Amino acid sequence: MNITGKKIVKLIVAVSVGVWIFSYFVYYDFETSCFIKLKPGLMSFVEFNHSNIKEGLQALKYGTPDVYAGVCSNIDTIESDYGCGGWQGGCHYGEEGRITLSTTHSEFVGWTAAIIGHEYCHDLQLREGRSFSEEECYSFDSQILQTIVGVYPN
């Protein structure tokens, strides 16, 4: 088999694009087998930063491991988009396993972690057949934020 320079360049480009797609559109924690798709939304030009979501998930992992395990078990897609939560918030549109965040553009990682937790709380309510309670989920995210600030001060 004759390997030419063009084939090597094509292979390098294909691998590079594959690595970029995986790193931008997927959160995967090999240690815990946590796999979450990261999807840019329709208004993603204002939320073009999935690294903040990944850092928020890492803050949950080390700050609130039980919440992190629950997020990893129940949430399969996080969409970054301006949504019903407005800027610096999030949404749960009633679809199990899917949440939307609008906190991804250079926000405090602890806040992003708390919003992930808040929307996960709504996902649990949906799965359990209960009505959405903002009061319950605000309490939930408040506890996360208080813990994260103590553990993950950046």
Residue 40: count of CB within 10 angstroms of its CB = 17
**Lowest-pLDDT choice from 34-38, 137-141, 150-154:** 150-154
Computed on alpha carbons and rounded to an integer, the radius of gyration of the chain in Å comes to 17
Cβ-based burial of 68 (10 A; exposed 0-12, middle 13-18, buried ≥19): buried
The DSSP secondary-structure symbol of 81 reads S
Token reading at 138: 């605000």
Report the pLDDT averaged over residues 18-43. Answer: 84
List beta partners, residue 36: 27
pLDDT in tens, 53-107: 899 999 999 999 999 999 999 999 999 887 676 667 888 999 999 999 886 566 7
For the chain, give the mean pLDDT.
85
For strand 77-80 and strand 34-40, is the pairing parallel, antiparallel, or unpaired? parallel
Q: pLDDT-derived band of residue 152, with 50, 70 and 90 as boundaries?
A: low
pLDDT score recorded for residue 96: 97
105 phi/psi in degrees, rounded to 5: -95, 95
